[in-house]
């Protein structure tokens, strides 16, 4: 049973998240031969207050 975790900054719509899960699932099925029903996709939103680049938070 393949497990995939996608971490991304918060702010995507529900429709975008559904499409992402669908397409990631398709990619895993295509590349591994796993059955679609066995693919698990986790989407983790990263709060922009907790994400920094170059020593600065993205919201600052």
pLDDT digits (tens, 9 = 90+) for 11-50: 999 999 999 999 999 999 999 999 999 999 999 999 999 9
pLDDT value for 56: 95
Q: Is 52 a catalytic residue?
A: no
C-alpha–C-alpha distance, residues 42 and 20, integer Å: 10
pLDDT value for 39: 98
Cβ atoms 10, 58 nearer than 8 A: no
Q: One of 1, 2, 9, 39 is an active-site residue; which one? A: 2
Which pair of structure tokens corresponds to residue 42?
A: 């986790």
Q: Which residue ranges form the domains of the chain, and what is each CATH number?
A: 3-57 (3.30.429.10)
């Amino acid at each position: 049973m393949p497990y995939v975790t996608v971490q991304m900054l918060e702010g995507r719509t529900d429709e975008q998240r559904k499409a992402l899960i669908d397409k990631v699932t398709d990619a895993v099925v295509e590349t591994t031969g796993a059955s679609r029903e066995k693919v698990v996709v986790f989407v983790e939103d990263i709060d922009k207050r907790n994400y920094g680049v170059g020593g600065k938070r993205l919201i600052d």
